[in-house]
């Protein structure tokens, strides 16, 4: 059995496992998407709150913009992580993909979200993309659950407490497009085929007695078991993308590792892309292929995980990594980022991290003035690894 990493709380990988993961990461980071189009392309998406049913600002007040020109791509079979502190806009960004934001208050005021359910080479001109922002609600409902699935933080809230697991998993076949192996001419054989597929998926999720799980109610299963049931529920319709919004928040570290390992293994076997929303950099380093760091409604850094972890370019990313406690460190000198994420009404026009940035505090008056001005930080790119910061140039400190 693998040992646990005292720094992150997750299982340490063997040399062979690390080598296999490194090979997969190299393929993805060096351009698996160069010949294929992304399954999801988020372009300059901004979300604001404070609207009425007619789409006008509520009470004549200026709507509050909570995310600002968020952009990222997710490729087939990729584990893409979106990280940041609570209040940075991660969940709002994730929920905007399927337009699950609170209506009518929230609205996507800018940008497009391109989803491709038929993937192919760019050279072949396969550009069957739908803009989910403009998609009619009836068509969007056919995408929700069947083509893009969600796994939420609390499995007890995602599952009906008075309905058996079997009935809830069978509902997926009623409302979603499911594998042809579960489709039969008559109702009874159709249900039997569906149950066979469900049992197979439950075994892949680590359940040795799927029938006991199927006949159980949610309160009869542990949190980790319920989250694995939610993973199976999300994967049954063979979606192209799964949005996992902090799926392990309510679980202890041992169960976290089990649940995420199941999710990644099952996603890789089906070729499903995963958007993982988390604030845990340990999870990111263990499971993700690429990562985007979000702060105060903006993406501040993005790149392959090994590059971001080993060579963080933005001071915020450096602060998040420094805050991970190490087993050999002196707990009396535990690192932290001063202050907290500002409220959206206090978001700055320029660099939003400037008032918490130790580099800005220690910089010359000229640089401090630039950081605290309304000027947007420049994009500093190094291959596929980039950040937005005044204190970086081609990945090197000024």
Residues 74, 32, single domain; the answer is yes
Range of the domain at 255: 14-147+239-335
Average pLDDT over residues 301-329: 88
Q: What is the pLDDT of residue 205?
A: 86
* CA 272 to chain centroid: 13
CA angle 320, 43, 113 (to 5 degrees): 110
Residue 8 has pLDDT above 70, yes or no: no
User: Residue 5: pLDDT band by 50, 70, 90 thresholds?
Assistant: very low
Residue 179 has pLDDT above 90, yes or no: no
Q: What is the pLDDT of residue 155?
A: 83
Count structural domains, the chain. 3
155 located within any domain: no
Q: What DSSP designation does 121 have?
A: B
Residues 105, 120, single domain; the answer is yes
Q: What is the pLDDT of residue 328?
A: 56
Residue 258 structure tokens: 């089990």
Between the two ends of the chain, the Cα-to-Cα distance in Å is: 45
Choosing from 185, 207, 236, the residue where a domain stops is 236
Residue 158 has pLDDT above 80, yes or no: yes
Residues 52, 97, single domain; the answer is yes
Query: With the CA atoms of 261, 266, 271 and 272 taken in that order, what torsion angle do they form, in degrees rounded to the nearest 10?
Result: -80
Return the closest-CA partner of residue 282 out of 6, 1, 2, 29: 6
Q: What is the pLDDT of residues 208-244, one digit of tens each?
A: 999 999 999 999 999 889 989 998 999 898 899 999 9
Choosing from 219, 236, 253, the residue where a domain stops is 236
DSSP letters, 259-298, are HHHHHHHHHHHHT-EEEEEES-HHHHHHH-SEEEEEETTE
* Ramachandran bin of 200, using left for φ above 0, alpha for ψ from -120 to 50, beta for the remaining angles: alpha
The fraction of the chain above a pLDDT of 70, given in percent, is 82
Q: What is the pLDDT of residue 122?
A: 44
Residue 321's contacts (CB-CB under 8 Å, 6 or more residues apart) are 281, 309, 312
* CA 344 to chain centroid: 21
Residues 318, 214, single domain; the answer is no
Return the closest-CA partner of residue 304 out of 392, 385, 379: 385
Residue 173's contacts (CB-CB under 8 Å, 6 or more residues apart) are 182, 190, 194, 236
Residues 228, 245, single domain; the answer is no
Picking from 11-15, 77-81, 153-157, 271-275, which range would have the lowest pLDDT averaged per residue? 11-15
Q: Which of 178-192, 272-286, 320-334 has the highest mean pLDDT?
A: 272-286
Residues 331, 343, single domain; the answer is no
Q: What is the pLDDT of residue 25?
A: 37
Residues 78, 221, single domain; the answer is no
Residue 124 has pLDDT above 50, yes or no: no
> For residues 366 and 391, is the Cβ–Cβ distance under 8 A?
no
Mean pLDDT of the chain: 83
Residues 45, 112, single domain; the answer is yes
327 located within any domain: yes
Q: What is the pLDDT of residue 9?
A: 36
89 located within any domain: yes
Residues 188, 275, single domain; the answer is no
CA distance 69 to 296: 12
Q: What is the pLDDT of residue 185?
A: 54
Q: What is the pLDDT of residue 271?
A: 84
Q: What is the pLDDT of residues 28-81, one digit of tens each?
A: 434 443 347 899 999 999 999 999 988 889 988 899 999 999 999 999 989 999
Average pLDDT over residues 139-160: 89
Return the closest-CA partner of residue 305 out of 320, 322, 323, 288: 288
Residue 17 has pLDDT above 80, yes or no: no
């Amino acid at each position: 059995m693998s040992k646990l990493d005292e720094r992150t709380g997750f299982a340490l990988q063997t040399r062979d496992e690390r080598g296999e993961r490194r090979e997969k990461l190299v393929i993805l980071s060096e351009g698996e998407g160069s010949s294929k189009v992304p399954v999801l392309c988020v372009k300059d998406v901004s979300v604001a709150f404070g609207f009425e049913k007619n789409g006008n600002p509520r009470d004549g007040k200026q709507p509050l913009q909570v995310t600002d020109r968020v952009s990222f791509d997710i490729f087939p079979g990729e584990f893409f992580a979106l990280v940041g502190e609570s209040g940075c806009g991660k969940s709002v960004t994730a929920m905007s993909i399927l337009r699950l934001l609170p209506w009518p208050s929230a609205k996507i005021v800018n940008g497009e979200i391109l989803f491709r359910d038929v993937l192919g080479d760019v050279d072949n001109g396969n550009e069957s993309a739908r803009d989910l922002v403009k998609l009619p609600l009836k068509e969007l409902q056919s995408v929700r659950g069947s083509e893009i699935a969600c796994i939420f933080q609390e499995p007890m809230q995602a599952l009906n407490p008075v309905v058996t697991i079997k009935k809830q998993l069978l509902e997926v076949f009623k409302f979603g497009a499911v594998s042809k192996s579960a489709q039969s001419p008559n109702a009874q054989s159709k249900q039997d085929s569906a149950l066979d597929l469900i049992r197979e998926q439950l075994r892949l999720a680590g359940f040795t007695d799927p029938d006991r799980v199927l006949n159980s109610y949610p309160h009869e299963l542990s949190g980790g078991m319920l989250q694995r049931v939610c993973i199976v529920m999300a994967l049954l319709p063979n979606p192209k993308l799964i949005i996992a919004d902090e799926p392990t928040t309510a679980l202890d570290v041992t169960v976290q590792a089990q649940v995420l390992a199941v999710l990644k293994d099952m996603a890789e076997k089906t070729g499903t892309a995963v958007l993982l929303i988390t604030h845990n950099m340990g999870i990111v380093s263990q499971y993700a292929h690429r990562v985007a760091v979000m702060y105060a409604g903006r993406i501040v850094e993005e790149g392959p995980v090994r590059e971001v972890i080993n060579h963080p370019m933005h001071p915020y990313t450096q602060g998040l990594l420094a805050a991970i406690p190490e087993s050999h460190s002196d707990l009396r000198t535990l690192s932290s980022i001063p202050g907290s994420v500002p409220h959206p009404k206090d978001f700055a026009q320029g660099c939003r991290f400037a008032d918490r940035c130790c580099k800005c505090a220690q910089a010359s008056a000229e640089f401090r003035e630039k950081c605290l001005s309304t000027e947007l930080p420049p994009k500093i790119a190094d291959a596929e690894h980039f950040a937005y910061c005044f204190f970086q140039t081609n990945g090197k400190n000024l």
